[in-house]
């Protein structure tokens, strides 16, 4: 019985790790419903455990992205100031909100995630167009024009090969919101950060995805610290679940090139929609 | 830049593996001791007693240490980035890294104050 519970938790984490890795998600969107709906763990505890699992997937994948030079470390560090601040605020607010409110917010997030995954194929098709994400050196607009060669502007410092991030103010504001969302709901916030960097700031999709993954670990750590210090993380459940997530993320990264992710994504949308309905019912009592 | 990326990638990889190893050992000890992971009522985190509890093979000690190592891994990445940028004379990037660390320190203080 006890061994079975441990295996089930690890297997659930493994599944979340595989799916998260294949679909480019941090895993929190799966871990929270798995624990709260599947295992009856109180919502706030599920969020605390999920934050740890999000750090697992982020740290495991971010190292690979950095080795391949896909992630923009400087851009990540600029936006991390805001995601970490948002995560700190969200981590404090999370303990003041009723769990039903959090469950309702999570149901809305699941619905939005399902909707955006359905639309993702269109975004990916647009990203493959050479004119869209890659901005020319002069495309940064007024923000990039302030610094001379002796004193490069912040935009110059965070520019990558073939692009210069723009609208840093909007990026900062959106990152703050992503941090709050991450802390309240136990997700990485990539669902906000990737479109923010790609569509608003003009960062190529691959770089946005990799940089978001790098940032997610720090964002989740900022709120996980609050949960840990306040006794909001159950180590008995977090241990086997996180080990399962780590193993799943490793397997998922190896399966990625062999599986038709489009079919997987459609199946996953169905799972998300069903889970959103269950979470909404829980929120309504 | 490339050397920073490689160094940080190594920190993330080693940190994650060490943390997962502690969590795996703690989980196995938990089962061996006959404790249900879903029973609730977990022992509180007591950093001062961690070394003694580790020597006594207490599962909670391994699990807490694994969780602390996991949460610390991305923070170590920020420390390493900040240090590297400061050494390269990139003061603005170093200041941003330091700002993130200040926010994390505030999170610890706020968490302690609220609990």
Please answer whether residues A9 and A240 qualify as being in contact, where contact means their C-beta atoms are separated by less than 8 angstroms: yes
Over residues A162-184, the pLDDT tens digits come to: 889 999 999 999 999 999 988 88
Pick the closest to residue A240 from B25, B74, B46, B58 (CA basis): B25
DSSP A37: I
Q: Where are the domains of chain A?
A: 2-283
The residues, any chain, with a CB within 8 Å of residue B51's CB and separated by 6 or more, are none
Is pLDDT of A50 > 90?
A: yes
Q: Which two tokens stand for residue A259?
A: 């599986």
Of A141-150, A169-178, A218-227, B40-49, minimum mean pLDDT range: A141-150
Helix A2-23 to helix A235-255 angle (10° resolution) is 40
A-chain residues near B107 (CB < 8 A): 84, 87-88, 91, 222-223, 225-226
Residue B73's pLDDT is 95
Residue B3's pLDDT is 77
DSSP A39: S
Report the residue from B10, B67, B77 with minimal CB separation from A52: B67
Mapped onto helix, strand or coil, the DSSP state of residue A160 is: strand
Report the residue from B15, B27, B112 with minimal CB separation from A6: B27
Are A225 and B4 an interchain contact pair (Cβ–Cβ within 8 Å)?
no
User: What number is the ipTM of this complex?
Assistant: 0.92
A-chain residues near B15 (CB < 8 A): 59
Pick the closest to residue A56 from A282, A220, A212 (CA basis): A220
Are A237 and B37 an interchain contact pair (Cβ–Cβ within 8 Å)?
yes
What's the helix, strand, coil split of chain A in %, to 5?
75, 0, 25
The residues, any chain, with a CB within 8 Å of residue A81's CB and separated by 6 or more, are A172, B96, B99, B100, B103
Share of chain B above pLDDT 90, in %: 70
Residue A46's pLDDT is 93
Report the residue from B10, B60, B74 with minimal CB separation from A58: B74
Are A59 and B15 an interchain contact pair (Cβ–Cβ within 8 Å)?
yes
Over residues A66-92, the pLDDT tens digits come to: 877 888 999 999 999 999 999 999 988
- Residue A53, H or E segment: helix A43-67
Roughly how many angstroms between the first and final C-alpha of chain A, as a whole number? 30
Over residues A232-249, the pLDDT tens digits come to: 899 999 999 999 999 998
Over residues B48-83, the pLDDT tens digits come to: 999 999 999 999 999 999 999 999 999 999 999 999
Over residues A143-161, the pLDDT tens digits come to: 333 344 456 788 888 888 8
- Provide the pLDDT confidence category of residue A126 given band limits of 50, 70 and 90: low
- Provide the pLDDT confidence category of residue A122 given band limits of 50, 70 and 90: low
The model's pTM: 0.86
Pick the closest to residue A79 from A245, A266, A212 (CA basis): A212
Q: Which segments of A160-234 does DSSP mark as H helices, in order?
A: 168-185, 190-195, 205-229
Share of chain A above pLDDT 70, in %: 87
Task: Give the minimum alpha-carbon distance from A265 to chain B in angstroms, rounded to a whole number.
Answer: 28
């Amino acid at each position: 019985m006890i061994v079975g519970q441990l295996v089930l938790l690890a297997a659930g984490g493994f599944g979340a790790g595989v799916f998260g890795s294949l679909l480019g998600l941090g895993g929190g969107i799966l871990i929270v419903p798995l624990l709260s709906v599947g295992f009856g763990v109180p919502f706030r505890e599920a969020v605390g455990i999920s934050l740890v699992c999000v750090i697992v997937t982020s740290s495991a994948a971010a190292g690979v992205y950095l080795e391949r030079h896909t992630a923009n470390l400087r851009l990540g560090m600029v936006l991390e100031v805001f995601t970490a601040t948002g995560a700190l605020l969200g981590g404090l607010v999370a303990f003041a909100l009723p769990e039903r409110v959090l469950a309702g917010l999570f149901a809305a997030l699941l619905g939005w995630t399902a909707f955006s995954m359905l639309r993702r194929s269109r975004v990916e098709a647009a990203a493959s167009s050479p004119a869209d994400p890659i901005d020319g050196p002069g495309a940064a607009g007024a923000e990039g024009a302030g610094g001379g060669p002796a004193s490069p502007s912040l935009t110059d410092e965070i520019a990558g090969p073939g692009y210069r991030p723009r609208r840093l103010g909007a990026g900062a504001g959106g990152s703050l919101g992503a941090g709050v969302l991450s802390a309240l709901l136990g997700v990485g916030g990539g669902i906000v950060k990737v479109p923010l960097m790609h569509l608003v700031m003009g960062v190529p999709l691959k770089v946005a995805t990799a940089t978001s993954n790098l940032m997610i670990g720090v964002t989740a750590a900022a709120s996980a610290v609050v949960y840990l210090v306040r006794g909001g993380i159950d180590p008995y459940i977090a241990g086997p679940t996180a080990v399962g997530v780590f193993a799943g993320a490793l397997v998922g990264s190896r399966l990625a090139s062999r599986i038709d992710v489009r079919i997987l994504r459609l199946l996953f949308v169905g799972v998300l929609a069903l889970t959103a309905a269950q979470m909404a019912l829980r929120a309504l009592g | 830049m490339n050397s920073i990326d490689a160094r940080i990638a190594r920190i993330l990889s080693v940190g994650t593996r060490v943390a997962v190893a502690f969590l795996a050992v703690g989980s196995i000890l938990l089962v061996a001791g006959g404790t249900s992971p879903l029973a609730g009522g977990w022992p509180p985190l007591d950093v001062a007693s961690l070394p003694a509890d580790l020597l006594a093979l207490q599962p909670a000690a391994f699990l807490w240490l694994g969780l602390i190592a996991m949460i610390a891994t991305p923070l170590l990445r920020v420390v390493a980035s900040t240090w590297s940028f400061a050494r390269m004379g990139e003061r603005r990037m170093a200041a941003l890294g330091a700002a993130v660390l200040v926010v994390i320190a505030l999170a610890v203080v706020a968490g302690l104050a609220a609990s």
